[in-house]
Amino acid sequence: MNSLDLLRQHTTVVADTGDFDQLGAFRPQDATTNPSLVLKAVQQPRYRTLLAQAVAAQPGASATTVAEHLLVAFGVEILKLVPGRVSTEIDPRLSHDTAASVATAQRLIALYAAAGVPRARVLIKLASTWEGIQAARALEQQGIRTNLTLLFSLAQAQACADAGVQLISPFVGRIYDWFKKTAGKSWDEAAMAGPNDPGVRSVVEIYRHYKRHGIRTEVMAASFRNSGQILALAGCDLMTISPALLAELAGASTPVARRLSHDGRIEPRPAALTQAQFHAALAADAMAHEKLNEGIQQFIADTETLEQLIRSIQA
């Protein structure tokens, strides 16, 4: 078996793409999208039809409304190719607005329902801000499952667990990027690889915290820069992997040993974080604070570019 098949023995493989052809090639259980991936996809001729259909179906609607219909259209098509769930991200401009995030998520779920997709097959993605996490709390209480993304710290993971979210997506590669950039010329790639990679260490810490305290929230490692990071996290509940790295693993015969596991012993859960404690922890973590804000701004920029594209078609 190739390395991708060996990885599947330890971890649920999720595809991080909006390209339907790539989904068919790698047979993932679930799929995730974000504004950047959808923007990239609609610039390909094959997917311009979905964009044109979304615009035509909503005459006179705002670009934001059309974009919501487009995201769901992508999700519906993706679910024809994967047996599990699709993650659909709400407008990143709402990352600090709990009420608006909840309302947007409810609209997306209603659009999926109108297309015949049960809510059990959809995860609503929200940024792991305090407001995003509280929106997830409200949605989970309504039976709408959530995926908390742009997660870079144990404090964010703790708050997500307190809110009872379905799944979190701790980012490996962006943590690695930050530490490598900060270290500059002193960075030793070989010494910081595998289990010593700072992004890998962050996910391991979160995974162990969850399993040790009997937290049911799923841990889906995300944002990989190389296959070594993936192999170092074999055994994580899920991993969302780019097509390029899926192809690399499918073409490799490297053995894949389970790296993360739990002995079954459960300890009492720590007290829930307050809002003040959450913000204090995030402020004290320069990497997490910077990457969270940077990630939101990047997704906002791509969302606005997508809406400009929609308006150009509407004109």
Give the residue numbers annotated as catalytic, written as ranges. Answer: 125
- Between helix 173-183 and helix 286-314 the angle, nearest 10°, is 120
Closest-CA residue to 298 (of 117, 60, 37): 37
Strand extents, DSSP E, the chain: 12-16, 30-32, 86-89, 122-127, 146-151, 167-170, 218-221, 238-241
Residue whose C-alpha is closest to residue 255's, from 231, 278, 239, 277: 231
| DSSP codes of every residue in 19-78 | -HHHHHHH--SEEE--HHHHHHHHTSHHHHHHHHHHHHHSTT--HHHHHHHHHHHHHHHH
Q: Do residues 146 and 125 make contact, with C-beta atoms less than 8 angstroms apart?
A: yes
CA distance 38 to 164: 28
